[in-house]
Amino acid sequence: MDTTAFLPVSREDMHSRDWWYYDFLVVTADAYVDHPSFGTAIIARCLEAAGYRTAVLAQPDWHSADAFRAMGRPRYGVLIGGGNIDSMVAHYTAAKKRRSSDAYSPGNRMGLRPDRPTIVYASRAREAFPDIPVVIGGLEASLRRFAHYDYWDDAVRRSILFDAGADLLVYGMGERATREIADRLARGEPVERLTDIRGTCWAGRNGPELPFEAVELPSFEAVCASKRDYALATRLEYEEHDPIRGRALLQRHGDRTLVVNPPAMPLSRSELDAVAELPYAREVHPMYEPLGGVAAIEEVRFSVTHNRGCFGGCNFCSLAFHQGRMVTSRSHESVVREVEGFTRDPQFKGYVHDVGGPSANFRHPSCQQQLKNGMCKNRSCLAPTPCKNLDPSHADYLALLRKVRAVPGVKKVFIRSGIRYDYLLCEENSEFLSELVRHHVSGQLKVAPEHCSAHVLDCMGKPHFHVYEKFRDKYQRLNQRYGLEQYLVPYLMSSHPGCTLADAVELAVFLNRTGRQPEQVQDFYPTPGTLSTCMWYTELDPRTMEPVYVAKSPHDKALQRALLQWKRPELRRLVVEALHRAGREDLIGYGKECLVRPLGQRKRGDGETPKAPGKPQRRQARPGGRPGDGKSRPGGRKGPGAPPPKPRNGRRGPSGR
């Protein structure tokens, strides 16, 4: 591919364009993929569209400042992002074990970026260009803009603005703030005066002049010393994170004050269309071809993001704290143009992998009142029950999907982003579920009930379990009506704050009763910026300040996880221990409702001879192979010495993602 389809990544690239200077250096911890699913590409292309010469520095060698100097000094500033995924999540599992691959690096290689790259890159940029403004942004900076609990350090860290030593921090979806910063720097305005831009953070000495009405949070020192103060700070951060009614937030850090200006207003539909239709190459930069390419492109190459924001309110999710709760969406025409572009790509086989977003079936604000008054404080639109003002219409999304299906060259349109089934059920007699089943499921539909215990779901900010059961029953009836074999795959989470061992047993009992055992279970991962992480650290619910049980030790978490995968032989001792600790010895035995046999006696094929009470042992088979001697019988049946056939778990069939 012609590299001129991409923004310059070297001095040679710039010279080939007859550039002898450039305006902004955009630095990213991911490989350079020029696609609208990658934040770096969006920001760089927005700057280009505004008339600025923009170069991209992807995954630079951070051991010195040489890589930052290689393209020369930018005229106006260095913009730094930590990548599409938080760097620590990309590098470590919930058990803090180092991951073996990185889908956002060429050839899936680990080690091409440091831990906490926003901090490291900002330091190197400052070393390379001491007099150039440094602005940090992206997911890593956005979620760490306040003093925050860091799971990997097991400590409260300062705002990343101070640790990075940057001049400004852009949080949330940064197109509008970045454009204003660029325009004002280009006009010669000192970066120290850029203190009135929505969606940004800056640092001043205590008692700075403020351009917005403000409220003060407990200081960094206070949230380090008091978990109650930490929870209070988190509650205020969420209450004021609203572009219409939100106020600026102040948090003292020693003799300096962090100032977090109110969020930027979401982009309008026409602005969102314009951002989505910038001249992206929609490909991995060719410099990575010898290194094996970049795997992260494959899931999104033929996918469309049609919306932004999420009013779902899951407490373990960072979307509300980053993109915000107010939903905006692209026009039908813009989405159709993007899909028509797919059909001109030689790699396109007729399958649109997704028409989705943070939550696929959100196309409009949750209610009309929020457009004037903002989102409600301390009130979820959906959980535990839907708000009476909720607008549940799926008509616009349904019309969009029908138009995409009608594009010549498109064979199938899948929806693989999360579907909010509770929101779907709010619309009476909706056609959407029927068309979802008939046209948009790739063998499996993945949804996220997460748990079955009501009080755990309340801690998660999720609807109660009967809502999932209602959806499951409707989904199964529709598949039967249309003669389809499509499965519902529930995502489940273990050891979320509020989940006791008894709750984990309750979920295991439910799964056993329904004949399911999940192949994968997500351990709760305390990532920065979420309400659930605040609960995990403080053992308080910041919404109510009530105590919350937290399974913190690795062993306690392992017990909960083992209960959800009770059939795995290597987890059997943990399951037995968990059942004893929960006082549920009734689930250890031989009945259909039991999860495991007593220790020392296993099911057939588990490596121990079964010996059920009241049943005599069969005699050892004699040489010669008589009937009943343990050899295979006609019809595929086997004798007592062989393992039984693997039970179906209800989830086989065509693979989804």
The 10s digit of each residue's pLDDT in 28-49 is 999 999 999 999 999 999 999 9
Q: Per residue in 400-422, pLDDT tens? A: 999 999 999 999 999 998 899 99
205: Cα separation from own chain's centroid = 35
CB distance 82 to 89 below 8 Å: no
What are 140's two structure tokens? 């890593």
At which residue do the structure tokens 């709750």 appear? 503
Is residue 371 very low, low, confident or very high in pLDDT (cuts 50, 70, 90)? confident
| Rounded mean pLDDT, 386-395 | 94
All domains of the chain in start order, with CATH = 3-200 (3.40.50.2300), 444-610 (3.30.750.200)
User: What is d(CA 93, CA 616) in angstroms, rounded to the nearest whole number?
Assistant: 48
| Rounded mean pLDDT, 362-373 | 91
Residue 1's pLDDT is what? 57
User: What is d(CA 323, CA 309) in angstroms, rounded to the nearest whole number?
Assistant: 5
In degrees and rounded to multiples of 5, residue 252 shows phi and psi of -70, 140
In percent, how much of the chain has pLDDT > 90?
A: 83
Burial of 388 (0-12, 13-18, 19+ CB in 10 A): exposed
Number of neighbouring beta carbons within 10 Å of residue 282: 20
Is residue 378 very low, low, confident or very high in pLDDT (cuts 50, 70, 90)? confident
What are 376's two structure tokens? 């409600």
Residue 637's pLDDT is what? 35
What residue spans of 194-345 are helical by DSSP H? 220-225, 227-239, 269-276, 319-322, 332-342
Whether the per-residue pLDDT at 656 is higher than 60: the answer is no
Residue 377's pLDDT is what? 86
Whether the per-residue pLDDT at 622 is higher than 80: the answer is no
Q: Mention every residue, 6+ apart, whose C-beta is less than 8 A from residue 73.
A: 129, 132
Q: Among candidates 544, 19, 588, which has minimal Cα distance to 234?
A: 544
Residue 638's pLDDT is what? 35
* DSSP string across 472-497: HHHHHHHHHHTT---EEEEEEEES-T
CB distance 362 to 308 below 8 Å: no
Residue 2's pLDDT is what? 66
Across the chain, what does the average pLDDT equal?
90
DSSP state of 575: H
Whether the per-residue pLDDT at 632 is higher than 70: the answer is no
Residue 601's pLDDT is what? 58
Residue 379's pLDDT is what? 83
Residue 457's pLDDT is what? 97
